[in-house]
Amino acid sequence: MAEYRPTTVATTSWEYGWQWRAACRGEDPALFFAPNHFEPKEERQARERKAKAICAACPVRIDCLEYAIRIREPHGVWGGLNELERRILVRGRESDRGPGLRVVPD
């Protein structure tokens, strides 16, 4: 007989409790994710600066970044890094130090 495992809904119970303490909680998601249309470089940089300022003061920034890296999140600003910055970090970990190392907090 199959083991019963209760399912949870992300809106009421999350596996990662850090998400409830995130500084971005309640902020406009448009700050953290690119629009569905062309975004000029200057607008993208301004949007990302605002998102990263929120991340900089976040008590769970490292947890957020590690989560985004672990699930290979391809979009948005997570833990203060955008998509390209996360890819560079992952490549550096894999080539220089090996996978599994954690980001050192500021």
What would the pLDDT profile of 47-84 be if each residue is shown by its tens digit? 999 999 999 999 999 999 999 999 999 999 999 999 99
User: With 60 as the cut, is the pLDDT of residue 95 above it?
Assistant: yes
Instruction: Please tell me the total count of domains within the chain.
Output: 1
Q: Are 87 and 79 in contact (CB under 8 A)?
A: no
- Establish if 2 belongs to a structural domain: no
Name which of 14, 26, 30, 10 is nearest 75 in CA terms.
30
pLDDT value at residue 71: 93
- Bridge partners for 78 per DSSP: 81
- Establish if 102 belongs to a structural domain: no
Rg for the chain (alpha carbons), in Å?
Answer: 16
- Establish if 70 belongs to a structural domain: yes
Which structural domain, as residue segments, surrounds residue 66?
28-97
Name which of 104, 25, 23, 100 is nearest 69 in CA terms.
100
Six token digits for residue 49: 């600066």
Question: Could you give the CA distance from residue 17 to residue 63 in angstroms, rounded to a whole number?
Answer: 10
- Establish if 8 belongs to a structural domain: no
- Establish if 77 belongs to a structural domain: yes
- Establish if 32 belongs to a structural domain: yes
- Establish if 41 belongs to a structural domain: yes
